[in-house]
Amino acid sequence: MVEMLTVICLIAVLSTVALSWFGGNNRLAIERVINQRNAQEIVCLGVCATMGGADFVVPGDKQATAVNLVVGATGTQGVWKDRLFRLTNLKATDLPGALTFVKFDAGLMLYDPAGQQP
């Protein structure tokens, strides 16, 4: 009986170690997908804010531009006049990972799925 309980305990310990090892590999993939989704949200709102004439872009500085969207920017033209463009679901701590998937091209924010742009 004691031998059987010892074997069960060893199996439990080994399965715990194996699950944590496999779970660690998935965590990196999950973080990448979350960062990509956050980047898509930043770019989507940035495009809408640009169409609304909101002044939020800091040329060449993705971090400052994204912070401006977290704080909020107000549209100045068309149907978006006086509308607030704001990233309500993102915190400043979410930005560094997401901004690896955002790039500037001709003053516009674009989504970069490869995430290679510094």
Residue 75 confidence (pLDDT) above 60: yes
For residue 101, the model assigns a pLDDT of 92
The residues, any chain, with a CB within 8 Å of residue 111's CB and separated by 6 or more, are 39, 40, 43, 101, 102
pLDDT tens profile 76-89: 888 878 888 888 88
For 14, other C-beta atoms within 10 Å of its C-beta total 10
For residue 37, the model assigns a pLDDT of 92
**Residues 52 and 76: beta-carbon distance below 8 Å:** yes
What b/e sequence results for 53-83 when a residue is b if at least 16 CB atoms lie within 10 Å of its CB, and e otherwise?
A: ebebbeeeebeebbebbbeebbbeeeebeeb
Q: Above pLDDT 70, what percent of the chain?
A: 95
Q: Above pLDDT 90, what percent of the chain?
A: 7
Domain boundaries, the chain: 2-111
Residue 118 confidence (pLDDT) above 70: no
For residue 24, the model assigns a pLDDT of 66
Element (DSSP H or E) covering residue 37: helix 2-51
Sign of CA dihedral 108, 109, 115, 118: positive
pLDDT tens profile 4-45: 888 888 898 888 887 777 766 677 888 889 999 999 998 888
